[in-house]
Amino acid sequence: MRRSSFPLSSLTAALCVCIAFTTIPPVAVGQKKTAPVEATPPPVRDEFKFEKVDLELREQVELLDRRFERDGMVLEDAATSAYLTRIGQTLIPKQPVIDNVTPKELVIENVTWKFRVLRDPQPNAFALPNGSIYISSGLLALMDNESQLAAVLAHEMTHVMRRHQYVQNRSNRKKYLTMNVMAAVGAYAPGGIAGAVISIATTIAPFVVMATMYGYSRDLEREADHRAIDMMISAEYPPEEEIGVLKLLSKDIEGEQISLFYNDHPALDERIKYWISDLGTRAVEITPQMELNREKTRYFQQMEPLMRHNVELAINAARFRSAVYFAQRLVEFHPESSENVFLAAEAYRTLGPRTNELSAVPLSNGAKKDLAKKREKQTPDEEERDLLATPQGQQNWRDHQQQAESYYLKALTLNDPVPTAHRGLGMLYEKLGRNSEALAQYEKYVELAPSAFDRERIQKRIETLRRT
């Protein structure tokens, strides 16, 4: 009897279909053109009925919340949390006034609002369907005022109120699109805390990555933008500040090829255009409160500790150019702060032989891709070593070490000088081979900060220097 066999052409065709199916770029999801959204949707998707799949998703995101917290990814700062919560609560739509009764906040089934800061120097924000809104320290440090923060919160809150995550999750399951997420994330996820967030989210709730990394469908994003305007106006935030946020997000300090989370919603330029057009149709009366909410000083006073923490996170994540940018903003705002000046010194010291800005002109996509590939292969130490072998790298290092030294010395002359400036000077001198000066600075640091968390590390350096 003749054995049956598959014709080769069928096998080839089947393989081609498989390959094509698994290599559809996820970004194509966000580019889908569909009908425009309704003009003024109600704040909450009332018609939404929870199904088993939605409740399962809710359970997973509750665990995701706990995991972010347990793994030290959430900033535990009562003042910042209270500040975010206050703004968030102001934005929550109120029920209409009936019979002179004080309007109450809308109660939404299966939503408990939580406003949290992710310890992540990369600018991004996302919402979970249970009402947890995450905003990264990198995005908070990039903003200029409270209204810009309100714009981001209003946008993310709309995703929750309009049940966008559940809608998107159901849609993804139907389309099998999440199957591609793992491969896509594997290819593009950055390192550090941003990478960890993506990696955890991918495995716990893949929809989060689909929605936040690649954007919701274009209509849902537009709806969130549209609703955010209403929420901002009723909470007395000038709505045009959202445009300011979008412009800030278009800054590409690190020359990153892959846009993440909040900045990958419909192309920023397009969003700016339709925001301007949406705003043009409304006559927004600027109130004194709106003017107040636009104040930079007030926002910076509130955010200064977080911005400092973000500089440290940026240095730790090898985002040295961002660290310099954020530290300079801090020094400009409060030049008499020893801590701010110290952070600027740290930023310049760790910037080392790298250029302050990637290039005078915006990098092409190809150049960004090359940069990303290089980052994948090289450690920061190897990058420095290679740069120091070039005349430009040597010049940069000379400039930056001088800048760092002058900032460290200045930090020590200001009121309440931070002992960490001695540690920084020690590290700088050690790198420059000025060992006796390094030793003296380290000893001073240990003397001034005997219970510092990094005492053991510095003590070990002291011992090594004493031996040499």
Q: Which is nearer to another protein, 21 or 274 (CB)?
A: 21
Question: Shortest distance, CB of residue 271 to another protein, whole angstroms?
Answer: 29
Question: Shortest distance, CB of residue 379 to another protein, whole angstroms?
Answer: 6
Q: Which is nearer to another protein, 43 or 190 (CB)?
A: 190
The DSSP H or E segment spanning 298 is helix 296-316
DSSP secondary structure, 390-429, as one string: SHHHHHHHHHHHHHHHHHHHHHHHSSS--THHHHHHHHHH
Closest to 156 measured CA to CA, from 94, 111, 201: 111
Site of interaction with another protein (CB under 8 A): 3, 5-8, 11, 56, 60, 63-64, 67, 70-73, 76-77, 119, 172-174, 176-179, 181-182, 191-193, 195-196, 199-200, 202-206, 313, 316-318, 376-379, 381, 453-454, 456-457, 460-461
Q: Phi, psi (5° rounding) for residue 293?
A: -70, -10
Question: Shortest distance, CB of residue 67 to another protein, whole angstroms?
Answer: 7
Question: Per the structure block, which two tokens stand in for 312?
Answer: 């440290």
Burial, 45: exposed, middle or buried (Cβ in 10 Å; 0-12, 13-18, 19+)? middle
Measured torsion, CA atoms of residues 197, 215, 317, 408, in degrees rounded to the nearest 10: -130
Question: Shortest distance, CB of residue 36 to another protein, whole angstroms?
Answer: 29
Amino acid at 135: I
Q: Which is nearer to another protein, 73 or 108 (CB)?
A: 73
Question: Shortest distance, CB of residue 274 to another protein, whole angstroms?
Answer: 32
Question: Per the structure block, which two tokens stand in for 277?
Answer: 């057009």
Q: Which is nearer to another protein, 165 or 293 (CB)?
A: 165
Measured torsion, CA atoms of residues 207, 309, 149, 249, in degrees rounded to the nearest 10: -70
Question: Shortest distance, CB of residue 463 to another protein, whole angstroms?
Answer: 11
Q: Which is nearer to another protein, 73 or 143 (CB)?
A: 73
Cα separation of the two ends of the chain = 84
Q: Which is nearer to another protein, 109 or 454 (CB)?
A: 454
Q: Which is nearer to another protein, 192 or 244 (CB)?
A: 192
Question: Shortest distance, CB of residue 357 to another protein, whole angstroms?
Answer: 22
